[in-house]
Amino acid sequence: MDRVIVVGGGLAGVRAVEALRGRGYRGALTLVSAERHEPYDRPPLSKAVLAGETDDTTVDADWARLDCELLLGERATGLRLADAGGGTLATTAGELPFGGLVIATGATPVTLPGDGPQHVLRTIDEARDLRDRLVPGARVVIVGAGWIGAEVATTAAKKGCRVTVVEAADTPLANAVGPEIGALTAPWYAEAGVELRTGVKVAAVEPGGLALGDGTRIDADEIVVGVGVRPEVEWLAGSGLDVERGVVTDASFRTSAGGAPRPDVVAVGDCAAYWSHRYGRRLLVEHWDTALNAPEVAAAALLGEDAVYDAPPYFWSEQFGRMVQYAGQHARSERMLHRGDPADGKWAVAWLTGDRLDAILTVDRPRDLVQAKRVIAAGTPVDAALLADPAVPVRQALNVGGFE
């Protein structure tokens, strides 16, 4: 192929560019990004940027060496596939023919109904704007006690804001890790001086506050919405590519159109619903670790190489002075066990099926996470009794052999 276009200027996009060049592709290469900034990391937006510790998270990429044309501030608006391969990408900068295409358009935050102003936290401009509004005494209401909501609440409280978090579920993180584990994080809010209101439905965002489903209202100077994201795939309507929530791909991130393979088009990052042999289903993983590592496989596949991505999902969150990390998938696990007492501050929870470790969540136990992630990836059987003992390193809680 003589020209590859990467659509999306997030981490997955820049990593795809680097991977293509690293694997020997020497043809024309263009990156199209809706944002005017060069690609940057997003995790620091709700952490260091919002806290005022940094103002720039630009990914360190040598664009001259990569010989990649950057079309910043330009958006993909449509796609036409040619029967023989390749096609044309429609953008706000005009139509761009391609031989190979990497779709890495990420995701868009969900917003709430209503005509009042609401903040989401997806771009660096949004983070800088919200940061300037987090002033002492400001009444900040955050909708959603998930990962982003907790991180924003952490920073807002530190800055002296009067913070209220409202959550539709009965506990924080109910959708992510389940209500039993989510309930263990609820006391963190009170410790930080944050009011947590669970089981609350929001009707609308109004000027000066939130209208709730029960007819009451919460007054606010600033409203932050952190209730999830949707894959940015609307621009693919009519293209023929198979889309179901995200762009449907195989385990190598190759797409399909009407069920027929399109090896000249790959999708990766937050917009890709990729097949996982490990879990026997499609995964839509919206986390930094996947955006960092999966593009290597997508680039290999686009260049005709054999490669499969099947790493256990991993992410982390810094909230209320704690490092919370999670690896694996627990949705279909048979049982859960506790590793350490939450009252002691440092603890973990593991999910198992039989003697296999499916997933782990750790609070201020980074060594547990690192070792467990390797056990999950290898599928090594574990001894549940040993695993439940926080004094036993995870790598020693195996029921066969050793683990180095």
Q: What is the pLDDT of residues 176-190, one digit of tens each?
A: 999 999 999 999 999
pLDDT above 70: percentage of residues in the chain: 99
Residue 314 in domain: no
Q: How many CB atoms lie within 10 A of CB 129?
A: 12
Residue 401, pLDDT above cutoff 70: no
Which pLDDT score is estimated for 404? 41
Residue 246 in domain: yes
Which pLDDT score is estimated for 208? 96
Residue 358 in domain: yes
pLDDT above 90: percentage of residues in the chain: 98
30/17 same-domain check: yes
Total-model pTM: 0.95
Pick the last residue of a domain from 174, 209, 225: 225
CA neighbor of 158 nearest in space, from 394, 319, 313: 319
pLDDT digits (tens, 9 = 90+) for 240-296: 999 999 999 999 999 999 999 999 999 999 999 999 999 999 999 999 999 999 999
115/27 same-domain check: no
Which pLDDT score is estimated for 61? 95
Pick the last residue of a domain from 243, 272, 302: 302
CA distance 173 to 398: 29
220/116 same-domain check: yes
129/212 same-domain check: yes
Average pLDDT over residues 77-101: 97
336/377 same-domain check: yes
Q: What is the CATH number of the domain that holds 337?
A: 3.30.390.30
176/265 same-domain check: no
208/274 same-domain check: no
Q: What are phi and psi of 131, to 5 degrees?
A: -55, -40
CA neighbor of 100 nearest in space, from 254, 245, 207: 254
pLDDT digits (tens, 9 = 90+) for 175-231: 999 999 999 999 999 999 999 999 999 999 999 999 999 999 999 999 999 999 999
Q: What is the CATH number of the domain that holds 77?
A: 3.50.50.60
187/255 same-domain check: no
pLDDT digits (tens, 9 = 90+) for 332-354: 999 999 999 999 999 999 999 99
274 is in which domain, residue-wise? 3-107+229-302
Average pLDDT over residues 58-67: 96
121/74 same-domain check: no
Pick the last residue of a domain from 225, 250, 282: 225
Sheet holding 217-219, edge to edge: 202-206, 209-212, 217-219
